Amino acid sequence: MKFLCIDCDEVMTFAERELPGDGTLAAVFECPDCGREMAMLTNPMETKLVSGLGIQVGGRTVPDQPLELVRSSVTTGDEQAFADLPLTAGTVRWSEAAAERLQGVPGFVRGMVKKIYGEYAVERGIEEITPEIMDRARQDLGLEGM
């Protein structure tokens, strides 16, 4: 999906994501020429159907994770079902606040989420993950709900 600023004949660029509630994803786009903004509101039912295919709308931002669909979509999973091995490609520290926030993620998917944040940090040379880094990663990678 693309948005074209008709007056400028320019493709609007992604500016930010928001989660206003009820499963809606709001993606804000901006015209690089005139600065006009618009928000695309996804229909939660349509988005879910596509993600159920294992497809990431907008393209993959992180590598395919093992049992990604199961871990991100099952609501009755066992908190202790998985033991995720630590990152092999580098190390990264977690600030106390970031670690506390990570604890808020259900145990069923926590290891996978931690790995994604870890890889994000390692790839960018970030030594410590803070809540701010988590926010930035969520936005950059499109990790809504993580």
Partner 1 sequence: MTERTRKVRTYHEVADPDSEDIVGQIEAQRSKLVGRLADIDRLVVVASGKGGVGKSAITANLAALIAERGRRVGAIDGDLHGPSLAAMLGAERTPLVVSEHGVEPAVGAAGVKLMSMDLVLSDGAPLEWRQPEVAGFVYQSTLDTGAVRELLADVVWGELDFLLIDAPPGTDKLARLLELLPVIDTLLLVTTPSEAARRAVGRTVRQAHGTGISTIGLVANMTAHECPDCGRSEPMFEADGAARLATETGLELWAEVPFEPRFAVATDAGRPLVLEAPESPAARELGRLATKLANATSDTA
Contact 61, 96 (CB under 8 A): no
Q: Could you say whether residue 83 binds partner 1 (CB under 8 A)?
A: yes
Smallest distance, partner 1 to C-beta of residue 111, A = 6
Instruction: Please identify which residue in 20, 32, 44, 90 interacts with partner 1, judged by CB under 8 A.
Output: 44
Count of CB atoms situated within 10 Å of the CB of 71:
20
70 binds partner 1 (CB under 8 A): yes
Q: Is 21 left (phi over 0), alpha (psi -120 to 50) or beta?
A: left
Count CB atoms within 10 A of the CB of residue 142: 19
The token duo for 78 is 């066992």
* Using rule CB under 8 A, residue 82 touches partner 1: yes
The two tokens of residue 110 are: 């926590």
For partner 1, what does the binding mask look like between residues 92 and 111, x meaning CB under 8 A?
A: -------------------x
Using CB under 8 A as the binding rule, the residues of this chain from 2 to 41 that contact partner 1 are 2, 4, 6, 9, 11, 23
Q: Which is nearer to partner 1, 90 or 97 (CB)?
A: 90
Sign, CA dihedral 42-45-46-48, equals: positive
Q: Where do contacts with partner 1 occur on this chain (CB under 8 A)?
A: 1-2, 4, 6, 9, 11, 23, 44-45, 48-49, 52-60, 64, 66-70, 72-85, 88, 111-112
